[in-house]
Amino acid sequence: MSPENENTPAAPSDFIRDIVAKHVAEKKYPRIHTRFPPEPNGYLHIGHAKSICLNFGIAREFGGICNLRMDDTNPTKEDVEYVDSITEDVNWLISGWANDRLGLKPKGKTPDAVTSNGKPDYYMPIAVDNAVTEPFYASDYFDQIYEYALVLIKKGMAYVCDLTPDETDEYRRHAKASPYRERSIEENLNLFTRMKAGEFPDGKCSLRAKIDVASPNIWMRDPLLYRIRHEDHHHTGGKWCIYPMYDFAHCLSDYIEGITHSICTLEFEVHRPLYDWILESIGLPRPLPHQYEFARLSLGYTIMSKRKLMQLVNEKLVSGWDDPRMPTISGIRRRGVMPEALRAFAYNIGITKYNGITDVAVLEHAIREDLNKRALRRLAVLRPIKVVLTNYPEGKTEELEAVNNPEDENAGKRKVPFGRELFIEQDDFMEVAAPKFFRLKPGGEVRLKYAYIIKCDEVVKDAAGKITELRCTADLDSKSGGATANRKVKGTIHWVSAAHAIDVECRLYDRLFTEAEPEKDGRDFKSVLNPHSLEVVTAKCEPSLKDAKPEQRYQFERLAYFALDKDSSLTPNTPRLILNRTITLKDTWAKEARK
Ligand code: ATP
Ligand code: MG
């Protein structure tokens, strides 16, 4: 078993894990084997993260293996760019947690085919010599899947049908038998071989299972097994011009890899009879894999379909698949979220059979909990206003001690420079203060964190009436250890020394949509894009942030959590720091909602 990670909550229990536990107790299989089977036609999103955590989580908890498999049967929409991003995202999410459970592919070898009897090279060892962390591909099984199709034809359980795709749909809807249904086995073998040889154009004919045209389950009404697509495939190149349909390839890929529990989302429940029919009709030796379904993740303020996410990318409504506002794993990662937080979220929401919308606050809570433990505290001002301490000596600098992380003693302390001129947050000053405003106001006092109590004596404005400077006096005995250090003032605010501040580009990200259900009542999700989902400011930051590291997380005190963006340049001569706001400290949306 993998070592327990302190940030990973205890393994949950749910109806799928109960089934697996029962099978383990019964010793039904030599080893539990799951898989995560994305189609490489887009980037993975947080819904996929739920599935990854479930499949790898089960492998981890029950001493099994989970394969990452590209479900790549449709050459028109798939691309290696997606294969690469998927592989990277899965590895990032399971690294240090379940990567020792990743099914490994022996180099240059795919699991062996079985067409008549004997078992496939099924239970692959975890550590195979020369194994690489490379995904499995359904397209690596095209030869075997083709052989299986021949088996069905020879058994009189599949036929070549010349109806057009539209006619086929129409016939199936009306439970009508194809006129080609009773072709002889010889004719079917001949036609299918010629389909493979490329003799027919796209759509001229297809291979269909011969099941039951009048079945109450439309998926059983002689479904398509193979179609013609004269198109190169990202993994098999120009080798094939016929491609198996998802339903045909999926169960067989599961079988070939020795999958025991094939876990998918609820919409596949109606496909399960077909899944079983194919495996049983071919007459494969047991044990056969079995399919289980759970409710997919739908998240508030989020759209999840890859097709729609692609629309955001293609129409340049976001900067790319990994835009930090995207619900993609790569976007979430770039925003600064740690894999531990995503895994905690996936565990917290649980696995059920009921579709519903998960409150985005659940995700945000998991992110805050994780960052609170790991983030280094820093002083930074996002929207500065200048403060001059008129009674503080010009040219004097003090080094004040500040705690790096109150949640982690080992994070230690640091020195923060303090001087006569400071920046504070515009929000922390109100010229005409509201009744419960306990921050700085004319004539009022506030504590500067780690430093002195100050009092605002004068508000300086420019000709246009805009505040340019606050002139204040400091109680010079009120610093920690001083005579008036314990004097009570209601508010504490953060600050940065003007002389020492460094400028940092901060990208302030917020929710991408203004509505919890962007597509409610058929509305176009693009009509509810949040116009304030990205604001860029130049923040004044304490100088220690010049050493910001990509793997480190930061909390700007009283504001938010930040992480270094990949657009930053860390070269010593021309450093350019860009920090992404991962999430604010408090849920500002909940406050809005209450108003
Ligand atoms: P989308 O509908 O977002 O385009 P998809 O279902 O077409 O996604 P696949 O690549 O086929 O994406 O999905 C791979 C696996 O992830 C499947 O087993 C699928 O059931 C699961 N999955 C996809 N979306 C979700 C989700 N929102 N919640 C949980 N699991 C999901
Ligand atoms: Mg799909």
Per-residue model confidence as pLDDT tens digits over 322-339: 999 999 999 999 999 999
Q: Enumerate the β-bridge partners of residue 555.
A: 377, 561
> Does pLDDT of 116 surpass 60?
no
The atom number, within ligand 1, closest to the CA of 297 reads 28
CA of 47 to the centre of ligand 1 (A): 7
Whether the CA torsion 164, 168, 170, 174 is positive or negative: it is positive
Percent of the chain with pLDDT over 70: 93
CA-based radius of gyration for the chain: 30
CA of 44 to the centre of ligand 1 (A): 8
Distance of CA 329 to the CA centre of its chain: 3
Q: What is the largest CA-CA distance in the chain?
A: 102
Q: What's the distance, Cα to Cα, between the start and end of the chain in Å? A: 49
- Ligand showing the shortest atom-to-Cα distance for residue 265: 1
Opening angle at CA 570, ends 565 and 573, nearest 5: 145
The atom number, within ligand 1, closest to the CA of 296 reads 28
- Distances in whole angstroms, Cα of residue 129 to Cα of each of 105, 125, 158, 494: 10, 10, 40, 56
pLDDT at position 531 is: 97
Identify whether the C-beta of residue 554 lies closer than 8 Å to the C-beta of residue 561. Answer: yes
The atom number, within ligand 1, closest to the CA of 39 reads 10
Cα separation, 72 vs 498, whole angstroms: 56
For residue range 82-96, what is the model confidence (pLDDT) as tens digits? 999 999 999 999 999
Cα separation, 220 vs 174, whole angstroms: 13
pLDDT at position 8 is: 56
- Ligand showing the shortest atom-to-Cα distance for residue 138: 1
Q: Of 36, 45, 46, 51, which is best to mutate to test ligand 1, by the most ligand atoms within 8 angstroms of its C-beta?
A: 51
- Within 315-430, residue ranges assigned H as helices are 329-335, 339-349, 360-374
For residue range 507-542, what is the model confidence (pLDDT) as tens digits? 999 999 999 999 999 999 999 999 999 999 999 999
> Does pLDDT of 112 surpass 90?
no
> Does pLDDT of 126 surpass 60?
no
> Does pLDDT of 6 surpass 60?
no
DSSP state of 270: G
pLDDT at position 129 is: 45
Q: Of 48, 262, 328, 355, which is best to mutate to test ligand 1, by the most ligand atoms within 8 angstroms of its C-beta?
A: 48
Residues whose CB falls within 8 Å of the CB of residue 68, separated by 6 or more in sequence, listed in order: 35, 36, 86, 87, 90, 102, 103, 135, 136
Count other Cβ atoms within 10 Å, centred on residue 151.
Answer: 16
pLDDT at position 431 is: 95
> Does pLDDT of 171 surpass 80?
yes
Phi, psi of 149 (to 5 degrees): -65, -40
- Amino acid present at 572: P
Report residue 319's pLDDT band, with 50, 70 and 90 as the boundaries. Answer: very high
pLDDT at position 2 is: 41
Q: Can you tell me the mean pLDDT for 559-563? A: 98
Q: Of 70, 296, 328, which is best to mutate to test ligand 1, by the most ligand atoms within 8 angstroms of its C-beta?
A: 296
Higher pLDDT, 149 or 6: 149
Cα separation, 275 vs 99, whole angstroms: 29
Pairing of strands 65-70, 136-137: parallel
Opening angle at CA 363, ends 362 and 366, nearest 5: 90
> Does pLDDT of 589 surpass 90?
no
Identify whether the C-beta of residue 263 lies closer than 8 Å to the C-beta of residue 294. Answer: yes
Residues whose CB falls within 8 Å of the CB of residue 165, separated by 6 or more in sequence, listed in order: 203, 206, 227
Q: Is omega for the bond preceding 572 within 30 degrees of 0, making it cis?
A: no
If we measure between CA atoms, which residue out of 215, 212, 210 comes closest to residue 188?
210
What is the helix (H) or strand (E) element at residue 423, kind and residue range? strand 421-425
The set of catalytic residues is 39, 296, 306
- 3-state secondary structure (DSSP) of residue 497: strand
Identify whether the C-beta of residue 65 lies closer than 8 Å to the C-beta of residue 126. Answer: yes
The token pair that represents 287 in the structure block: 């044990």
- Amino acid present at 184: S
Instruction: Identify the residue whose C-alpha is closest to ligand 1 atom 18.
Output: 264
The atom number, within ligand 1, closest to the CA of 267 reads 20
- 3-state secondary structure (DSSP) of residue 265: strand
Residues whose CB falls within 8 Å of the CB of residue 519, separated by 6 or more in sequence, listed in order: 303, 525
pLDDT at position 421 is: 98
Q: What pTM did the predictor assign?
A: 0.94
CA of 311 to the centre of ligand 2 (A): 17
pLDDT at position 9 is: 61
Q: Can you tell me the mean pLDDT for 451-455? A: 98
Q: Can you tell me the mean pLDDT for 394-419? A: 96
CA of 265 to the centre of ligand 1 (A): 7
DSSP per residue, 554-592: EEETTTEEEEE-TT-B--SSS-B-EEEEEEESS-HHHHH
For residue range 42-60, what is the model confidence (pLDDT) as tens digits? 999 999 999 999 999 999 9
- Distances in whole angstroms, Cα of residue 232 to Cα of each of 78, 235, 236, 247: 10, 9, 8, 21
- Distances in whole angstroms, Cα of residue 324 to Cα of each of 179, 530, 538: 53, 14, 18
Instruction: Identify the residue whose C-alpha is closest to ligand 1 atom 12.
Output: 38
Pocket of ligand 1 (CB under 6 A): 37-39, 47-48, 50-51, 264-265, 296-297, 304-307
pLDDT at position 286 is: 84
If we measure between CA atoms, which residue out of 455, 523, 518, 461 comes closest to residue 489?
455
What is the helix (H) or strand (E) element at residue 313, kind and residue range? helix 306-314
Identify whether the C-beta of residue 282 lies closer than 8 Å to the C-beta of residue 152. Answer: yes
Count other Cβ atoms within 10 Å, centred on residue 372.
Answer: 16
For residue range 285-317, what is the model confidence (pLDDT) as tens digits? 888 999 999 999 999 999 999 999 999 999 999
Pairing of strands 445-448, 421-425: unpaired
Count other Cβ atoms within 10 Å, centred on residue 184.
Answer: 10
Pairing of strands 290-294, 261-265: parallel
Cα separation, 392 vs 373, whole angstroms: 36
Percent of the chain with pLDDT over 90: 87
The token pair that represents 585 in the structure block: 């400290």
- Ligand showing the shortest atom-to-Cα distance for residue 71: 1
CA of 493 to the centre of ligand 2 (A): 50
pLDDT at position 588 is: 77
pLDDT at position 471 is: 98
pLDDT at position 118 is: 40
- Ligand showing the shortest atom-to-Cα distance for residue 40: 1
Report the length, in residues, of the chain. 595
DSSP state of 118: S
pLDDT at position 107 is: 58
Opening angle at CA 420, ends 414 and 426, nearest 5: 85
Mean pLDDT for all residues in the chain: 93
CA of 211 to the centre of ligand 1 (A): 27
> Does pLDDT of 108 surpass 70?
no
